């Protein structure tokens, strides 16, 4: 047990990862959840006992300002609680990274990479969380575009043109048409947006994109 104690002591004594965005200092918070799996948990897929573990890592602002406190609460909720992972059934990690911080907005990329115990392959998912500091809430479509404007059609046309320019279009016409039909749905979800100084990027999953792998 002494060796395990020393390893844990060394881990806890490490200074937290730090970085700055403008005047704000951020530190990376990490958490690990583990669960013991007895051999009898699922005799069909678990012939041996063991432990499952989920590792979480997300940024926290070193600020006592109420607007940053609200953001920190939202970040922990998004990474730890909304991921819906259970170490009793999953192994994996959830990571959050700040993509942009400025003009009263913090945009964070959150990814989840995990495998359900006993299945042959893992799963990966990601999305973006855009937080408005002064309003203390997530950004909505109406915060960016005028409701009465035809922005959806404009962005959809840009996405379709970009797919054509890419040149790697799926050949199956029915499959391609189906995935094109999903453009409008994806476009209207800020969680599929990357907003940074370069502009707005719509992120399509591999299941929805009409671009061939």
CATH number at residue 89: 3.30.565.40
Residues 112, 152, single domain; the answer is: no
Tell whether the model's pLDDT for residue 205 goes beyond 80: no
Residues 92, 132, single domain; the answer is: yes
User: pLDDT, tens digit, for every residue of 152-193?
Assistant: 989 988 887 877 676 656 667 777 677 677 778 888 999 999
Strand partners, 188: none
Tell whether the model's pLDDT for residue 148 goes beyond 70: yes
Domain boundary among 139, 156, 185: 139
- Residue from 69, 76, 66, 70 nearest 28 by CA: 76
For the chain, percent of residues with pLDDT exceeding 90: 36
Residues 32, 127, single domain; the answer is: yes
- Residue from 146, 139, 153 nearest 193 by CA: 139
Strand partners, 199: 196
Residue, of 43 and 49, whose pLDDT is higher: 49
Q: How confident is the model at residue 13 (pLDDT cuts 50, 70, 90)?
A: low
Q: How confident is the model at residue 14 (pLDDT cuts 50, 70, 90)?
A: low
DSSP annotation of 210 reads S
Domain boundary among 139, 168, 188: 139
Residue 97 lies in a domain: yes
Residue, of 213 and 71, whose pLDDT is higher: 71
Tell whether the model's pLDDT for residue 140 goes beyond 60: yes
Residues 84, 12, single domain; the answer is: yes
Residues 130, 157, single domain; the answer is: no
CA dist 144 → 25, 44, 176 (Å): 27, 51, 29
Domain count for the chain, please give it. 2
Domain that holds residue 194: 142-202
């Amino acid at each position: 047990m002494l060796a395990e104690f020393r390893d844990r002591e060394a881990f806890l004594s490490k200074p937290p990862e730090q970085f700055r965005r403008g005047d704000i200092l951020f530190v990376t918070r990490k958490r690990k959840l583990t669960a013991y799996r007895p051999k009898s948990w699922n005799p069909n897929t678990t012939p041996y006992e063991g432990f499952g573990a989920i590792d979480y890592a997300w940024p926290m602002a070193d600020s006592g300002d109420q607007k940053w406190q609200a953001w920190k609460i939202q970040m922990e909720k998004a990474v730890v609680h909304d991921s819906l992972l259970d170490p009793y059934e999953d192994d994996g990690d959830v990571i959050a990274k700040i993509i942009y911080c400025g003009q009263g907005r913090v945009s964070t990329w959150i990814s989840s990479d995990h495998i359900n115990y006993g299945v042959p392959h893992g799963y990966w998912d990601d999305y973006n969380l855009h937080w408005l500091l002064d309003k203390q809430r997530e950004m909505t479509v109406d915060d960016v575009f005028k409701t009465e404007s035809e922005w959806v059609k404009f962005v959809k046309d840009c996405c379709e043109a970009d797919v054509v320019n890419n040149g790697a279009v799926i050949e199956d016409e029915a499959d391609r048409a189906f995935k094109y039909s999903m453009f409008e749905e994806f476009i209207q979800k800020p969680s599929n947006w990357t907003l940074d100084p370069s502009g707005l990027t719509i992120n399509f999953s591999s299941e929805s994109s009409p671009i061939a792998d």
